[in-house]
Amino acid sequence: MMNEIDRFHDTNLQDIDLLGRLDQYFDTLQEQLRLGNGWFIFSAGGKRGSRIISFVLSRVADYRMMASYYFVPWRDFSLTSYMVGVELKSLSPDRADRETQQISAAEYQIASRVSQDAMVKMVASDLLIITGLRPAYRHEVSFLDETIARRYDQHLATILLSPYRQDELAAEFDKVVPGTSTWENLFRRMYERSLIAA
């Protein structure tokens, strides 16, 4: 789909190459999804990140009827991870008055249903696209690690875009979850089933 690439005529050579490789990926998307192949794209922040995700989403739209996909900006991923890993765990049904219990139970059910819907889409969609990957909290890292592990086990394709370079993202993981192998495990899973771009 050269027309899509042509509209990025003011892009640098490396990104034109990346867009060409992405174009080839989407030309064979059914096969890529069958194999569970995705992408891990670093240094994809600002205008570059917007240009790449615009291209990816325009190509994904071509396959809307043949495959399910879920697009999640990091802000939304972070919010879901907070709801699942922190907020829902803190809502306790052991409240003093009955009215507070009823309100709390209703809020819990709504938050739980919304979070579960998002989790199902993240874990079960044929293609998951997460942009702006920049972990800052333990619950984000845990939720991302679990999501990628489950998708890896099911041979489901994932596209991750981070504004950080690979070494910077590794350092961020080390700050958030020091002394763990979370980054190594996540990168290994992505590396085995993804094309890598910086």
Q: Which residue has the higher pLDDT, 120 or 197?
A: 197
Q: How confident is the model at residue 96 (pLDDT cuts 50, 70, 90)?
A: very low
**CA distances for 55 relative to 89, 90, 187, angstroms:** 38, 40, 24
Q: How confident is the model at residue 118 (pLDDT cuts 50, 70, 90)?
A: confident
Q: Compute the radius of gyration of the chain from its Cα atoms.
A: 19
Phi, psi angles (nearest 5°) of residue 158: -135, 140
**pLDDT at 87 > cutoff 80:** no
**Cα-to-chain-centroid distance, residue 33:** 16
Residue type, 4: E
Q: Which helix (H) or strand (E) holds 198?
A: none
DSSP SS3 for 135 = coil
d(CA 65, CA 81): 29
d(CA 42, CA 133): 9
Structural domains present in the chain: 31-45+52-193 (3.40.50.300)
pLDDT at position 117 is 76
194-197, strands of its sheet edge to edge: 69-73, 127-131, 157-161, 38-41, 194-197
- Mean pLDDT, the chain, as a whole number? 86
Q: Which residue has the higher pLDDT, 110 or 120?
A: 120
> Which of 3-17, 96-110, 183-197 has the lowest average pLDDT?
96-110
**pLDDT at 95 > cutoff 50:** no
The DSSP letter of residue 136 is: -
Phi, psi angles (nearest 5°) of residue 128: -110, 130
pLDDT at position 98 is 52
